[in-house]
Amino acid sequence: MIKNKTIAVFGGGSWATAIVKMLSENLNEIGWYMRNSYASEHIKINRHNPNYLSSAELEPDKLFLSNDINEMIAYADCLIFAIPSAFLKTELDKIIVPFDEKIIFSAIKGIVPETGLIVGEHFHKILKVPINDIGVITGPCHAEEVAMERLSYLTIACIDEQKAVCMAEYLSGRYIRTKISDDIVGTEYAAMLKNIFSIAAGIAHGLNYGDNFQAVLMSNSIREMKRFIKKIHKMKRNINNSAYLGDLLVTGYSVFSRNRMFGNMIGKGYTVKSAMLEMSMVAEGYYATNSAYKINQKNEAKTPIIDTVYRILYQNGDPKKEFEKLTELLD
């Protein structure tokens, strides 16, 4: 159970800030680990994160802020990780305090590059956290709309239903609706895959493909997601539910989507390196593309969209030529 346990959020970015804001609706004390000590001090005085989601009003009186990850691990019973997957292992390698008996929720929508595992699998296989003590927080939900207090929806997945229910209650609020799921593997893979499909949508936009093609691309993307996940974790799931299709659509179409923005720059002729330098935030789909492609070399699901994005990002494929070939494979 999570009830009456101390909760801490790990990460200093937009999604971590949004989660802290949501939790503040229901909790009187929340731990918050962020590496940037300047940001912590700024929040205490000015009530907002100076670097990310600065429009979000925060409640410093409810926050225990620290830039020492070991202090925060020792402080909390339930740990919510919202650190970009590319930097997660570096942060976890700093931990020297006991890590056992902690409940872990991942709000990270990506793959740990060093292990090629989704975050929940990394905690389970590498850090030996029992699978019943691992959960996933996924969308469809953009941090920017949380800051604006627009109605948003979350899916909380955990094999232990009571833990999912408790976390859902803590995150629910005036403008947040929640539902629970037992598909911890499927929802986390879906959250990772939708970033790749969002890059594809961005590339298409950058190449001046219109709404008609985007609709076909999204239709094929959800079917490709279903095939990919089914190969990894076969169970009864409705791929049209919000945690899968809804999260894909909001990431593929929204102006807030970092992955779509990244893909759009690639489609317009930016190199991968120049696109990354221009963005101030991490596009999780870049790392996810490499991992998903490698995973599928073993599983052999039909994944023409993932394969196309991989060739463009990792094999210097020409976006225009690659998408011309992709259009012949979609229906």
Read off the tokens for 3: 């009830």
DSSP state of 113: T
Inter-helix orientation angle 211-232/304-314, to 10°? 100
| Three-state helix/strand/coil letters over 11-31 | CCCHHHHHHHHHHHCCCCCEE
What dihedral do alpha carbons 83, 88, 91, 96 form, nearest 10°?
A: 120
pLDDT tier at 54, thresholds 50, 70, 90: confident
Per-residue model confidence (pLDDT) at position 113: 87
pLDDT single digits (tens) 134-147: 999 998 888 889 99
Per-residue model confidence (pLDDT) at position 256: 82
Per-residue model confidence (pLDDT) at position 99: 84
Nearest to 252 by CA among 203, 186, 324, 322: 203
Find out whether 154 and 178 touch, Cβ atoms under 8 Å. Answer: yes
Three-state DSSP state, 32 = strand
Find out whether 139 and 243 touch, Cβ atoms under 8 Å. Answer: yes
Q: Cis (ω within 30 of 0) for the bond into 113?
A: no
The type of residue at 223 is R
Average pLDDT over residues 2-10: 85
* Helix-then-strand count for the chain, H and E: 15, 10
Contacts of 297 (CB under 8 A, 6+ apart): none
Per-residue model confidence (pLDDT) at position 44: 92
pLDDT single digits (tens) 194-232: 999 999 999 999 999 999 999 999 999 999 999 999 998
DSSP strand pairing (7-10 vs 152-158): unpaired
Residue 19 pLDDT > 90: yes
Separation of CA 233 from chain center: 19
What is the residue-averaged pLDDT of the chain?
Answer: 92
CB-count burial class (<10 Å; 0-12, 13-18, 19+) for 286: buried
Average pLDDT over residues 10-26: 94
| Entry pTM | 0.91
Residue found under tokens 């030529």: 321
Residue 1 pLDDT > 70: no
Catalytic residue among 21, 102, 163, 194: 194
Read off the tokens for 70: 């070991």
Q: Could you confirm whether 102 is annotated as catalytic?
A: no
The domains of the chain, with CATH numbers, are 7-182 (3.40.50.720), 186-327 (1.10.1040.10)
Find out whether 155 and 244 touch, Cβ atoms under 8 Å. Answer: no
What dihedral do alpha carbons 280, 285, 289, 291 form, nearest 10°?
A: 90
Strands (E), the chain: 7-10, 30-33, 63-66, 78-81, 103-106, 111-112, 117-118, 134-138, 152-158, 176-181
Nearest to 195 by CA among 280, 263, 265: 263
Read off the tokens for 277: 């330098």
Q: How large a percentage of the chain has pLDDT more than 90?
A: 74
Per-residue model confidence (pLDDT) at position 202: 96
Per-residue model confidence (pLDDT) at position 232: 87
Per-residue model confidence (pLDDT) at position 34: 94
